[in-house]
A and B are shown apart, each in its own frame.
Chain A
Amino acid sequence: MTIERVIVRNYRTLYHTDLTLGPGTNVIVGDNESGKSMLLEAINLALKCQLSRRPAAYELHPFLFNSKTVADFIQSHRSGKPQPPPEILIEVYFRDDKALAEFKGTMNSEMLDRPGVVLRVKLDDNLKEQYAEYVKDPTGFNSIPVEYYEIEWLSFAGGPLSSRATPIKSVLIDPSSIYNTHAANRYVVEIVRDYLTKVQSVKLALSYRKLRDEFQGDGDITAINADLASKTGLISDKVLSVAMDVTSRASWETGVMPHLDDIPLTLVGKGEQNAIKVKLAMEASNTCDVFLMEEPENHLSHTNLNRLISKIISKSDGRQLIITTHSSFVLNKLGIDNTIMFDGSSGVRLKDLPAKTFAYFKKLPGYDTLRMILAKRSILVEGPSDELIVQKAFYQKHKALPLEKGVEVISVNSLAFKRFLDIARLLKITVAVVTDNDAKEAAKTVNYAEYAKEPNITVCIAKNDLWPTLEPQLLHANGRKKLNALLGTDYPDNDSLLNYMKLNKTDVALALFDNVDAFTVPDYIQDAIQ
């Protein structure tokens, strides 16, 4: 039982989102703020009708609505063209499965005949009057009146759902959102509780209660209570005594603390804590169909992350895993072909690449590809000397190295440029290519034309066939005199200088990189570092 597709409208950062998911592992990457976490939260909300582990109805607040949606709504009222009250919509489509037939129907926005669930946050029909009052004065409100909203939670068959009988069991593993000790402890205890068998948890509850009873029967406690009883009238007219809390709140869950090597879990290192939470959650969720996991790399060292990822792979075992990450390591481990590039509205997967390109990367699951996928922006260059020159040029212009600005400069065999550009085109990654003209500028321009027309791709080819590669371009831009000075050489003519540069490419690039004085950046490189 797996999720095939998710449609979200107006939920937090997800204005209009439509994402297709694979049946196995789905690694979701994308910029910060693109809504990756929101996506997991939305899926979890629609599957369980829960927010922050509480019934969603208690957690409604105006900021659940997308800010653009809210702004449009308010604007519409102020401009005299009032729109109806906005609704949040989350639809989760499942792959067709006989076991899910009861949840099957076409009651979804796509009118597809699929099993699925839909959660709507909408105006409560019984409170239309109050709502009308609320919007009467268009200048009098700045948000959506969630007080008049209700949650409608239905299957695609139009039947109401109950949180105890959800079609697909999911678990959201989100260690980063647990910020205080109490919450962290509760989180782990909940997972432990899920992990224990029925018999085990009954035994645990019984032992806990026995311990409380023993406390009460203890001689010293009895004496203390007798003493307190003798003070009746002093403090209150009623008899005062001490006892363990026996209300239902005081079940073992609140009184028991998980320990690791005899150290209370809350005092163990953050990284270990998170790893434990993730592993426990996966272990506890044998009955679970879908794992939603947020950035497992948080707070973990490389070795621990490695172990954790191996664990995740072995435990998820054929079940659907939807995971967000910023780590190229996680991405590489979980399989680059499972990657979904998510931009908040839709996702593209590498499987959709042209067959040749996909085969190329399948053979070479290069770290460089991941760098490009995860970077905000990338500049592809032909070799190490080009890389140094571009780095320095970038520094001269922006007073910061590319990496500090989230820009990756990646050195790629020039024959592979097109493969990378295929990915960039598909995933809408911002990328610039810096390449020599090899004395065939016109031909190269034609060659790259199909990519250059993409708004996210800049192709920067060295100008003028007279200066076919980086070195002549540098010489042309700076002149012999300046270059001699920068390199600490003294060649009398252009040919000998150029000859030296060509024979010592890397040294030349390094010298320019290290030199505190600026060099003049050739135009085509200038174009790439904008």
Chain B
Amino acid sequence: MPFNNRVILACAGSGKTTAIIDDACSDSAHRSALITYTINGASELTKIACERHRAVPAYTTIDTWYAFLLSHFIRPYQTQLYKPRVSRLLFIRGQTARFANAGNIDKHYFASPGQIYLDKVSKFACEIIEQTGGQPVRRFEQIFDRLFIDESQDLAGYDLELVERLMKSETEVVLVGDYRQATYTTNDSSKNKKYARAAIVDKFKEWETAKLCTIEYQESSRRCVQEICDFADQLYPNAAKTQSKNLKRTGHDGVFAVERRHVGAYCARFEPQSLRYNRTFADAVGHPINYGAAKGMTFDRTLIYPHGPFRKFLGSGKLADAGKDISKLYVAVTRARQSVALVVEDGASLFNLKVFVP
């Protein structure tokens, strides 16, 4: 097999991020790029790298996806297509400039001179590679021996085209991600829509069939106790079952329902981190974090405020009731090491859930 590329599909809490950081930071013979989506994600990578390796080594580059695209795939060879230095992004969601065709570079890709639309960055990168006969890829190969992309379930649109090109390059590409946590897409390009969110696994499988990469599964969670893993697995019944590696017992472990009237007592006793669907759940206790924003975080105990569909699911146990935001639920449930408490109405009927009794 000519390519050494890997896609690692890991479950929540598998320690996948730590593993790629160790990989990149302990191999001084190879230059690595560690890429993730958000600025928070990149600072999380830097934080872990510093904790485990004292400092980010000179041969390791940590960057966000967009900064990475700008510095290695857009700017170096943009001149053939576009003169003003592409200096910044316009962070707007949705499909931009839909009525300017791709041949009209100024209008199709740019909001103002040097300011590129968010959903067009990877498209423009692909266009430059196309027009220059692959110059950016050759430059990239000279600089980096290995490319790690964390949270790769968030790749979308032309990102996938670009990654496919890089998989065919000399540089080894390692994608790490959990499609169950595809809560977010990096852009809203109409390209590759059928692979959006959890369906991205289909794309990975196509790559594997085309012998561009191998897919590895990591189905053991170092974070969550078995009860939490089992509960979360209900959300993705077709995925392999998660094995817990967290054998610690505290006397209050697993998933519990907490009636609203007992929330105060529960919090006083277990001090959980509260999580909510979004800011409309203003009555959440403590300093709540939205489900989506909690991605990558770990707590000992959580207290989750379910939104409507989630409540319905807790009552019926039917996945069809859980709504469209399954990935967010999965993220929310898998944050805790020891216990997850779900806030329910007083006297609510529940499907197969232990109820907390103070």
Q: Give A residues with C-beta under 8 Å from B.
A: 98, 101-102, 104-108, 111, 113, 154, 156-159
Contacts and interface: CB of A to CB of B under 8 A. Distances in A.
B143 A159 contact: no
A113 B80 CA distance: 11
Given A104-B76, A106-B135, A158-B85, 6 more contacts: A107-B79, A111-B79, A113-B135, A154-B85, A158-B70, A158-B76
Contacts of A101: 139, 142-143
A51 B275 CA distance: 56
Given A107-B85, A113-B135, A159 B71 contact: yes
A106 B143 contact: no
Interface string B64-103: 0000001110111111100001100000000000000000
Contacts of A102: 143
Nearest to B142: A101
A interface: dominant SS: loop
A107 B78 contact: yes
B71 A158 contact: yes
A105 B71 CA distance: 10
Nearest to B75: A158
Query: When A and B form their complex, which 5 residue pairs have the shortest distance between CB atoms, in order from nearest?
Result: A158-B75, A105-B76, A101-B142, A157-B76, A106-B79
Contacts of B142: 98, 101, 104
Contacts of B77: 105-106, 113
Contacts of A157: 71-72, 75-76, 139
B interface: dominant SS: helix
Give the interface centre of A104, A111, A156 by most chain B CB atoms within 10 Å. A104
29 contacts: A101-B139, A101-B142, A102-B143, A104-B139, A104-B142, A105-B75, A105-B76, A105-B77, A105-B139, A106-B80, A106-B135, A107-B75, A107-B76, A107-B78, A107-B85, A111-B79, A113-B77, A113-B135, A154-B85, A156-B76, A157-B72, A157-B76, A157-B139, A158-B71, A158-B74, A158-B78, A158-B85, A159-B71, A159-B75
Nearest to B70: A158
A101 B143 CA distance: 6
Nearest to A112: B79
Contacts of B132: 106
A107 to B, nearest CB: 6
B87 to A, nearest CB: 9
Interface of B: 70-72, 74-80, 85-86, 132, 135, 139, 142-143
A480 to B, nearest CB: 76
Nearest to A157: B76
Nearest to A113: B135
B86 A158 contact: yes
Contacts of B78: 106-107, 158
Give the interface centre of A106, A107, A108, A156 by most chain B CB atoms within 10 Å. A106
Contacts of B72: 157
A87 to B, nearest CB: 14
B85 A106 contact: no
Contacts of A111: 79-80
A159 B71 CA distance: 6
A107 B87 CA distance: 13
B293 to A, nearest CB: 31
Contacts of B71: 157-159
A138 to B, nearest CB: 27
Contacts of B80: 106, 111
A157 B76 CA distance: 4
A102 B86 CA distance: 17
A98 B144 CA distance: 11
Give the interface centre of A105, A107, A108, A111 by most chain B CB atoms within 10 Å. A105
Contacts of B74: 158
Contacts of A113: 77, 135
Nearest to A99: B142
A95 to B, nearest CB: 14
Contacts of A105: 75-77, 139
Contacts of A107: 75-76, 78-79, 85
A101 B132 CA distance: 17
A300 to B, nearest CB: 42
A111 B128 CA distance: 14
A101 B78 CA distance: 16
Contacts of B79: 106-108, 111
B229 to A, nearest CB: 43
A154 B114 CA distance: 15
A118 to B, nearest CB: 10
Nearest to B76: A105
Nearest to A97: B142
B138 to A, nearest CB: 9
A159 B142 CA distance: 16
A159 B78 CA distance: 12
Give the interface centre of B74, B79, B85, B132 by most chain A CB atoms within 10 Å. B79
A117 B135 CA distance: 18
A272 to B, nearest CB: 42
Contacts of A104: 76, 139, 142
B294 to A, nearest CB: 34
A299 B33 CA distance: 53
A113 B134 CA distance: 12
Nearest to A110: B79
A102 B135 CA distance: 13
Contacts of A98: 142
Contacts of B76: 104-107, 156-158
B270 to A, nearest CB: 49
A107 B139 CA distance: 14
A55 to B, nearest CB: 22
A101 B86 CA distance: 20
